Every structure is written in C-alpha cells, then in structure tokens.
C-alpha cells in the first residue's frame, strides 16, 4: 500500500511560485517537488471561499451537487468524502490543521458546539492537530517556547509598527514559530510513529490572511517589485463593469486582510497594495521553507519512495488585481491554484500538464492510486494517466467553477441586489480563449481572453460575439445537465439486481 500526503496551502494563487514562472517569488522546495513530479499548469478550484472550495475537493463533486454554498453551509451527511473512502480502503486518514466543514445539523440538537462553527472536522478524519481560526493550539505552543503571546488574535499585529497602512513589519514570533512551522513539526513527529501505510492531510493556513510574516520573509521582497496590477485605470471604471463588482468594491473591508485595519479596501493607495503583495510573496516563501522540511523528513524517514505527495490549494487570491482582495466572483486569480503531484511509482516526473484540471479530480486520483473503488457518481476524473505521461481520451476542454454570494444569516446581498437567495450565484465556463459567466439573477459576462487576457472588457452584448455567447451558454447548460447529482440516477433495479451504468456492472 502507498502512503498519501495531501498538503493544502490556503489562498495560494496558481501563478505565485518559481516553477510556474513567477518573476520574483523564490520557492526552491516547491520547485524541487515540481521537478520530481508533475505540475498541472491549468488547475482550477471549483468554488470559494474556503468551505465551498474544500467541499468540492473532499467530495469530488461540483458545488451544484454538494450544495455547500458559503462558509457555514452544512455538508449533507449523504455525501461521501475522501476521508471516508480512505477509511474504507484500510487507512486511518489523519488531519493536521483544519478542513472547514460545517456538519449536518440534522444529526445534532440542543447546545452541541458543532452547531456554532464552520470549522468542524471532515467526516472520516482522525485529528492529530486541529488548528481553527482561534489558533489556540499554536498559541499555547508559542507560550511554551517563551513567546509573550498577546490576547486573542493580536498575535497578528506587527511588533513595532501600526497595522495600517501596512508597512511589512514583522510580528512577535519568529520564522521557526509560524503556524506553518508548528504544523510541520507535528507532522514530522507523527511521521516517525508510523509503521504502516498512512494518509495525512496537512492543511496550512498560509498564505491566507491576515497578511503578516516574520523575518527574513517580511522584507524578502521589495514592494517596488509589485508594480503590475491587472485592473481598470480606476476603481470606478472597474465597478461599472458589473453590479456584482460594484457591490464588492463598496463592501469588502480591510480588516479581512490586515488585522487591526479599519475601513474599506478601496481606501488603500497603491503603496499599501504593493506592500501587501510583497508580504504575501514572503508568506509563500515561508510556506515553501516548511514544505522543504517535510520533503527532507520523508527522505530521512525512508518514506519518500512509498509516498505520493499532492500539493495544492483550495482557492486563489485577488491580491490587488481588479482593485480587489480576497477570493470571489469569476476571476482566474481567485480560482487558478497550484497542483503538483509527485508519485514515485510513475515515470512522468518533471513534466507539465497544460490540460484543464480541477480540484474535484484529486479524490478519484487518490482512490485509483491506492487501488480503491472510484464511485461512479463523482464529477472528477482521475489524473493518474497524466502521471504516467498519457492524456486520457475525451478530457475536458474547459474549466468550470461556481460562486454563491448569498448571505443567509444577514440577508445583506439579498437586500443589496433585490434578489432571492437562490438567485445570488454565478457559474463559469472557461475555455482556452473564452470565459462565459452566467448569473442566476444578474446580467451575464463574456470575455475574449485571447484579445484581452485581463478580463477587463465584457463582450456579452457585443453583436460580433453573439454566436460565441450562445455557444458558451449552451456548453454551460450541457455541463450542468451532465453533472447533476448522479448518485442514484446511474443505477437501475433489474430482475437480476441493481446495475450500475457507470461501470456496466451489478452493484450490491
């Protein structure tokens, strides 16, 4: 049996590491992994923010089926998960960090604490270290090291500088004391305890905000290097593109990205935006250093030759592009994420796959790799042929994702747009050249990425693109029709018992 190590680094853009060709960011350890494995250059997450993105990753299902719309949307108990599947295959899937899953409330009642959080544990997972937003296990570890830990999340304030405008100042903890280092330590300690095949999910928070990082990473990249933003000349011109973009620019607050900052992100000047981008780059390099420790640890434990390593993210980060921060809407920057797989048992190391791949493909890839049954109803497809240097027949020619901007608890978006909750969503189909964005209750968008790769010019109402708009809309409709929940629709009860259409075999 093969060991499986799934590493996720949260909110990591697919263009921000050395092997992807980034002109500034240095990631020697991630680049080493890419050189020994396969890098999927056009890999996309299926949803945002964290809980919806991870629901797709952990179930192999598009959002239209798993229906995790927002942080706090429960994951229906009927859905299988990667962890449950690994457990059926004889593994004890073990979590380091977090999975951001809201549990089905129909199984619980009263004052159950699970009903108060979207940071519960993915069904099927054993927990070695749970590290939710309050980060108390990490903070208690810091105290044990003699760090003077401030109250609450004040740990994310800079030591000797104001929080805003951001100056790139370091926090009170050092480079060996980050959350990333803490989880790496715990994984490496656990690794030496293993005497049989194992599955570990190491879920790093970084480079997710708050945007702050200790030295030497805090000053590793000069803000002057962050001069290019993909955007309209002004925020007002960006807002004119679409009502959703106008709403986002007028509502996203600084405090979601820089702890202690107040006001709207639109109030930051370009100096602040460049500094945030430089800090983010430093956070990526900090994660890279800890990934290097993990790779070295696998070598030292003699486990590297028997371990498939999967490195990816749940979603990206706008990082000042389109005048935005965060992960939202239809933009590539929010959904294009890294994927690198190193499998010692295949021979396609050091190659780059340009085909469109999606986060829903990770679950079937792992299951095929360990020889487990891949359920017929999954939306994703195994990437194992790519790892063997092959291109699977009939592979997808587009990437797809969804974004739901309902706010169930507050009703804010319902009031702002004058639409019911179920009309507050969009779906994207992105081909080599075109991107079509369909809203349930707002005007659509169409971008010609060959003529204008920055997603700045909407062609939806251009008569010259009428045929393209219709073609893309039809493709999106066909995609949805093909992937509606197939858990039972692919099974027929016959005189000889249940028959599965997916594999043309009898089940049960």
What's the fold here for domain 3-472? Alkaline Phosphatase, subunit A (3.40.720)
Record the tokens describing residue 309, joined without a space: 């390593």
- Check: CB of residue 323 under 8 Å from CB of residue 238: yes
What's the confidence (pLDDT) of residue 414? Answer: 97
What's the confidence (pLDDT) of residue 506? Answer: 39
Looking at the annotation, which residues are catalytic? 50
Residue 480: CA atoms inside 13 Å, Cβ hemisphere, count? 14
What is the full DSSP assignment across 129-178? Answer: EE--TT-HHHHHHHHHTT----SGGGGGS-SSS-SSS------SS-TTSS
What residue spans define the domains of the chain? 3-472
DSSP letter assigned to residue 224: G
- Check: CB of residue 19 under 8 Å from CB of residue 32: no
210 preceded by cis ω (within 30°)? yes
C-alpha dihedral, 145 to 146 to 147 to 153, nearest 10°:
80
Q: pTM of the predicted model, to two decimals?
A: 0.96
Average pLDDT along the chain, 508 residues, taken 10 residues at a time: 95 98 98 97 98 98 97 97 98 98 93 94 98 94 95 93 96 98 98 96 98 98 95 96 98 97 97 98 98 98 97 98 98 98 88 97 98 94 96 96 97 97 98 98 98 97 98 98 91 91 48
What's the confidence (pLDDT) of residue 53? Answer: 98
């Amino acid at each position: 049996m093969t060991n499986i190590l799934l590493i996720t680094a949260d909110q990591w853009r697919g263009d921000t590491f050395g092997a992807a060709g980034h002109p500034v960011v240095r990631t020697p350890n991630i680049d080493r992994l890419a050189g020994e494995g396969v890098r999927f250059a056009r890999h996309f997450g299926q949803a945002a923010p964290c809980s919806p993105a991870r629901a797709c990753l952990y179930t192999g299902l598009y959002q239209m089926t798993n229906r995790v719309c927002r942080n706090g949307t429960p994951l229906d108990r009927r859905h299988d998960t990667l962890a449950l599947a690994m457990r059926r295959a004889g593994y004890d899937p073990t979590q380091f960090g977090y999975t951001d899953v809201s549990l089905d409330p129909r199984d619980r009642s009263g004052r159950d604490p699970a009903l108060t959080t979207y940071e519960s544990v993915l069904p099927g997972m054993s927990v070695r270290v749970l590290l939710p937003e309050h980060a108390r296990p990490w903070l208690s570890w810091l105290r044990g090291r003699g760090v003077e830990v401030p109250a609450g999340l004040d740990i994310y304030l800079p030591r000797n500088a104001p929080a805003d405008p951001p100056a790139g100042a370091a926090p009170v903890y050092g480079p060996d004391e980050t959350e990333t280092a803490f989880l790496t330590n715990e994984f490496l300690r656990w690794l030496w305890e293993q005497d049989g095949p194992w599955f570990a999910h190491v879920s790093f928070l970084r480079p997710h905000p708050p945007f702050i990082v200790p030295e030497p990473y805090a000053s590793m990249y000069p803000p002057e290097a962050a001069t290019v933003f993909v955007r309209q000349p002004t925020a007002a011109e960006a807002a004119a593109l679409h009502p959703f973009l106008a709403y986002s620019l007028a509502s996203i607050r600084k405090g979601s990205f820089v702890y202690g900052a107040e006001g709207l992100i639109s109030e930051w000047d370009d100096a602040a935006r460049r500094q945030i981008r430089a800090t983010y780059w430093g956070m990526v390099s900090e994660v890279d250093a800890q990934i290097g420790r993990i790779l070295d640890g696998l070598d030292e434990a003699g486990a590297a030759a028997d371990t498939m390593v999967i490195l990816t993210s749940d979603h990206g980060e706008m990082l000042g592009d389109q005048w935005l921060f965060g992960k939202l809407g239809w933009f590539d920057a929010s959904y294009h994420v890294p994927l690198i797989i190193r499998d010692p048992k295949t021979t396609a190391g050091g190659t780059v796959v340009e085909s469109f791949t999606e986060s829903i493909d990770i679950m079937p890839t792992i299951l095929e790799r360990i020889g487990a049954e891949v359920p017929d109803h999954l939306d994703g497809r195994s990437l194992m042929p790519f790892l063997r240097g092959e291109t699977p027949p009939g592979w997808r020619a587009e990437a797809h994702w969804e974004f739901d901007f309902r706010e169930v608890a507050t009703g804010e978006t319902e009031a702002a747009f004058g639409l019911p909750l179920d009309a507050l969503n969009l779906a994207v189909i992105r081909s080599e050249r075109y991107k079509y964005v369909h809203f349930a209750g707002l005007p659509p968008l169409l971008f010609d990425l060959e003529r204008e790769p920055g997603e700045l010019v909407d062609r939806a109402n251009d008569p010259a693109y009428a045929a393209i708009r219709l073609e893309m809309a039809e493709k999106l409709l066909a995609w949805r029709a093909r992937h509606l929940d197939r858990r039972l629709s692919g099974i027929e009860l016959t005189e000889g018992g249940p028959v599965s259409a997916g594999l043309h075999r009898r089940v049960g």
